[in-house]
Amino acid sequence: MNVEWKKYDVLVIGSGGAGSHAAHAASNKGASVLVVSKDPLGVSDTKISEGLATVRESGSNDDSVETLSENIKMAGADLSIESLTNAFSQDSKLAYDKYRENGLRPTISLKSQTPKPLPLPLGGHTRRRTVGHNNSGIAFAHANWNAIVSKGEINYKEDCWIIDIIVDKKTVIGAVAYDAQKGIILAIQCPSVIIAAGGLSTIYFPKTDTLRGNTGDSYALAVRAGADMVDMEQIQFLPFCLTSPPSYEGLLAGEPVTASFLGVLRDKNKNIILDSVFLRTRAQCSEAIMKSVEKGNGTINGGAFLDMSANKRAPKSGPYFMEYLKTSLPSAYNNVRQALSKPASQCDELWEVRPGAHYMMGGLRVNEFGASVAGEFYGKVDLGVSGLFAAGQSMGGLFGANRLGSTSLTEGAVFGLRSGEAAAKNSIYNPLKLQSNDKFLKKISEIDNILVTKGKYSSSSIKKDIQKACWKNLGPIRDKKRLNKMRKLIELWKKKIKNIRIEDTLIWNQSFIEYIEVKNMIDTAEIMLFAAEERDGSIGGHVRIDCKNISMFSKPYSTVVNINNDKSFNVKRVYRNRTPLKRMLFYKVEEIKRLLEAKTIRFLPLSIKDKILEKKYKNIMENNDEMSSIYPGSPEAAIGEKTTL
Ligand SMILES: Cc1cc2nc3c(=O)[nH]c(=O)nc-3n(C[C@H](O)[C@H](O)[C@H](O)COP(=O)(O)OP(=O)(O)OC[C@H]3O[C@@H](n4cnc5c(N)ncnc54)[C@H](O)[C@@H]3O)c2cc1C
């Protein structure tokens, strides 16, 4: 087997929003950096995203670090770690500027001359602070690509799979990768590794991303390296995904806020199952849909109907609503227009929607610099795996039980930058002192043995079984029976993967690639199962129909899963600080007030309601006139473009 040995200060796994910012920051600190990405550079969830980014204070003067941080914590049912929510809130503007320095061109508000926020706050945000982009995630992906290639100092490898991180005495010493393009194994020696390998939605179907890559590699690599994983039961199901035709299944049909002031969710009998949808979080909408399905009231494709016709019917405010729908989240409108019908896109017909797996709130347990931690006093007393970092969807502890819309693109840049700098520092203060190559050689010999496996199962068939089973048994609705079933299936897949069919070659070996990913999917599903079994109630993205909802007055706890010496997993609870009661009650009262106001408007006679809504739309809808031209130095140009002239 052909093995190439490499030495770097920092290895970054992944080239999405998190990986590109991490690489850029580490390189700026003088570290030698290698980015390894199994997809082509910048091709990832970041690229197919809606391109909505949280930028503090972009829409409301009374926004602040504290308000944004509190919004995240409250939506996350107090599972979020405050040092992380504070870091996110504090750096959100700076992170957005970094995207702009690397080429992102925002839409600028003609009124304020600052990046233009959407007209309404996304569900759970109490301020307008979500900035949209005309060409969605593509704009972000190009900025990410630029962040890696522009300086010419960052080395990168595409079509290259990290197989495992190599650790000695709880300290990172490198990683082993499969370079499919060249048909070789890479042994990369380095004191710092940043995991920015994205999420796990591919272990489910339906899911919102159309990429093959989200096979949970982040979590499997981290747990096998000995790191603590936090809140791994908390997967977010995006409530409004298309259910048909098959080629559109799982694609986004909007956010809760898409429903605007009068949108409701209905079951198959047209009974309302959730009102004031625009004020709800993603978790609340998904829960309402899946509980209705569980009661036997689901639509033909196992979902519910999003009914926005009342918005449209109001004669004066209706045209404003249609303008809002078409321009605020254009991809929802366009997907529905293409997938369903013109009358549906005009809201004359109901939209059949169903939750789809979207985002993992859990992940590697880190401190505010993205460093792996274990124990209560993270970062100081109980460091986790030394030299191991995570950023973006790989990390946990920031969003707790529910992620607010538009926060992930920002999260990638905030923690990418922080972890990149911290990893570079780690390489300076803790340079690699290798006694021997034994740990690497052991892993390489394991790979050699796998390549001669001539079993009877194909990885791709196991992959399909995993997707179906995870949706059914580890999906938005869970109970003990389903979790027990899941455990049996995981044991079965573990046996099957030992009896797998793999080609004996290293040149673009698809069966080997599938093997690497399916193994990661199984490990990730198992970590999630341990966490889900420990969570004895419904909270956030996790609905246990055989247990009560977890009360907001009880002591919040996170689940933490790690690996034992015999490679089995272990789970424990870590208790969190609850938001002080007075503050929580204040927050809840404000939420109830907003819901009451929305309900009252719905029940007013049409003429009065119409007038009120017309006024509201006039207040929130900005003139959509475009700036006449964009050129380096103009407000819509990227910041980097300004500095080069
Ligand atoms: C349809 C859709 C719309 C969305 N819209 C929004 C939005 O508008 N706003 C928002 O904030 N969020 C949005 N999100 C979520 C957001 O896009 C993602 O959470 C975010 O982009 C994740 O960034 P990341 O850098 O952590 O991972 P990714 O961008 O997914 O990058 C992962 C990288 O890791 C690499 N990788 C994975 N495993 C390995 C391995 N074993 N070896 C080597 N490389 C590996 C991949 O090749 C890739 O380069 C959306 C998500 C989807 C699916």
Q: Which atom of ligand 1 is nearest to the CA of 416?
A: 25
C-alpha separations of 598 from 257, 424, 564, 593, 618 in Å: 13, 50, 51, 9, 17
CA of 439 to the centre of ligand 1 (A): 30
Closest residue by Cα to atom 27, ligand 1, is 198
Q: Give pLDDT, residue 623.
A: 64
Closest residue by Cα to atom 33, ligand 1, is 14
355, 239 Cβ separation under 8 angstroms: yes
Range list of H helices, 430-549: 438-450, 459-473, 480-497, 510-534
Determine the residue of 20, 46, 96, 361 to mutate for testing ligand 1's pocket, defined as the one with the most ligand atoms within 8 A of the Cβ atom.
46
CA of 413 to the centre of ligand 1 (A): 12
Closest residue by Cα to atom 2, ligand 1, is 49
- Tokens 């208790």 — which residue? 575
177, 158 Cβ separation under 8 angstroms: no
Q: Give pLDDT, residue 627.
A: 58
Q: Is the pLDDT of residue 630 over 90?
A: no
Q: Is the pLDDT of residue 377 over 60?
A: no
44, 14 Cβ separation under 8 angstroms: yes
pLDDT in tens, 408-443: 999 999 999 999 999 999 999 999 989 899 999 999
Determine the residue of 36, 49, 136 to mutate for testing ligand 1's pocket, defined as the one with the most ligand atoms within 8 A of the Cβ atom.
49
Distance CA 20, CA 149 (A): 9
Q: Which atom of ligand 1 is nearest to the CA of 207?
A: 53
Q: Is the pLDDT of residue 379 over 50?
A: no
The percentage of residues in the chain with a pLDDT greater than 70, rounded to a whole number, is 97
Contacts of 302 (CB under 8 A, 6+ apart): 243, 293, 354
Distance CA 208, CA 454 (A): 34
233, 532 Cβ separation under 8 angstroms: yes
Q: Is the pLDDT of residue 284 over 90?
A: yes
Closest residue by Cα to atom 6, ligand 1, is 49
Strand order in the sheet with 10-13: 155-157, 33-36, 10-13, 192-195, 388-390
Quick one: CA dihedral 384, 390, 391, 392, positive or negative? negative
3-state secondary structure 577-633: CCCCHHHHHHHHHHHHHHHHHHHHHHHCCHHHHHHHHHHHHHHHCCCCCCCCCCCCC
pLDDT in tens, 451-476: 888 899 999 899 999 999 999 999 99
219, 524 Cβ separation under 8 angstroms: yes
* One-letter amino acid of 567: K
CA of 142 to the centre of ligand 1 (A): 14
Distance CA 212, CA 196 (A): 16
> What does residue 192 show for φ and ψ, rounded to 5 degrees?
-135, 130
The pTM (predicted TM-score) of the whole model is 0.96
399, 86 Cβ separation under 8 angstroms: no
The secondary element (H helix, E strand) that includes residue 44 is none
Q: In terms of Cα–Cα distance, which of 37, 54, 42 is closest to 142?
A: 42
Which neighbouring-strand residues pair with 360?
235
Distance CA 125, CA 52 (A): 13
Q: Is the pLDDT of residue 360 over 70?
A: yes
Query: How many Cα neighbours within 13 Å face the side chain of 314?
Result: 29
Distance CA 176, CA 186 (A): 6
Q: Is 640 in the pocket of ligand 1 (CB under 6 A)?
A: no
pLDDT band at 542 (very low <50, low <70, confident <90, very high): confident
Closest residue by Cα to atom 13, ligand 1, is 49
Q: Which atom of ligand 1 is nearest to the CA of 54?
A: 11
Distance CA 407, CA 393 (A): 11
Q: In terms of Cα–Cα distance, which of 418, 128, 472 is closest to 290?
A: 472
Q: Give pLDDT, residue 625.
A: 57
Q: Give pLDDT, residue 644.
A: 47
Q: Is 179 in the pocket of ligand 1 (CB under 6 A)?
A: no
503, 512 Cβ separation under 8 angstroms: yes
Q: Is the pLDDT of residue 634 over 90?
A: no
Q: Looking at the chain, how many residues does it have?
A: 645
Distance CA 233, CA 530 (A): 8
CA of 323 to the centre of ligand 1 (A): 30
CA of 207 to the centre of ligand 1 (A): 13
CA of 353 to the centre of ligand 1 (A): 23
CA of 45 to the centre of ligand 1 (A): 3
Task: DSSP letter for 190, please.
Answer: -
Determine the residue of 409, 518, 521 to mutate for testing ligand 1's pocket, defined as the one with the most ligand atoms within 8 A of the Cβ atom.
409
Q: Is 198 in the pocket of ligand 1 (CB under 6 A)?
A: yes
How high does pLDDT run on average in the chain? 93
Contacts of 17 (CB under 8 A, 6+ apart): 44, 46, 140, 144, 392, 408, 409, 412, 413, 416
Q: Is 147 in the pocket of ligand 1 (CB under 6 A)?
A: no
pLDDT in tens, 145-168: 999 999 899 999 999 999 999 999
Q: Is 289 in the pocket of ligand 1 (CB under 6 A)?
A: no
pLDDT in tens, 114-149: 888 999 999 899 999 999 988 889 999 999 999 999
Q: Is 339 in the pocket of ligand 1 (CB under 6 A)?
A: no
Quick one: CA dihedral 331, 542, 526, 249, positive or negative? negative
pLDDT in tens, 556-597: 999 999 999 999 999 999 999 899 999 999 999 999 999 999
500, 516 Cβ separation under 8 angstroms: no
Q: Is 409 in the pocket of ligand 1 (CB under 6 A)?
A: yes
Q: Is 39 in the pocket of ligand 1 (CB under 6 A)?
A: yes
Q: Give pLDDT, residue 108.
A: 82
Q: Is the pLDDT of residue 210 over 80?
A: no
Q: Is 252 in the pocket of ligand 1 (CB under 6 A)?
A: yes
The secondary element (H helix, E strand) that includes residue 396 is strand 395-396
The percentage of residues in the chain with a pLDDT greater than 90, rounded to a whole number, is 83
Q: Is 281 in the pocket of ligand 1 (CB under 6 A)?
A: no
Q: Can you tell me the mean pLDDT for 239-259? A: 94
* One-letter amino acid of 65: V
CA of 9 to the centre of ligand 1 (A): 24
CA of 61 to the centre of ligand 1 (A): 31
Distance CA 13, CA 17 (A): 12
CA of 408 to the centre of ligand 1 (A): 9
CA of 208 to the centre of ligand 1 (A): 11
Q: Can you tell me the mean pLDDT for 540-553? A: 84
Q: Is the pLDDT of residue 226 over 70?
A: yes
Determine the residue of 24, 41, 45 to mutate for testing ligand 1's pocket, defined as the one with the most ligand atoms within 8 A of the Cβ atom.
45
Scored b (16 or more CB within 10 A) or e, 610-631 reads beebbebbeebbeeeeeeeeee
Range list of H helices, 171-317: 217-224, 282-294, 309-313
Respond yes or no on whether the N-terminal peptide bond of residue 605 is cis (omega within 30° of 0).
no
> Taking each helix axis from N to C terminus, what angle separates 606-620 and 581-603, rounded to the nearest 10 degrees?
120
Q: Is the pLDDT of residue 642 over 60?
A: no
Distance CA 85, CA 89 (A): 6
CA of 42 to the centre of ligand 1 (A): 9
C-alpha separations of 318 from 255, 306, 456 in Å: 19, 17, 60
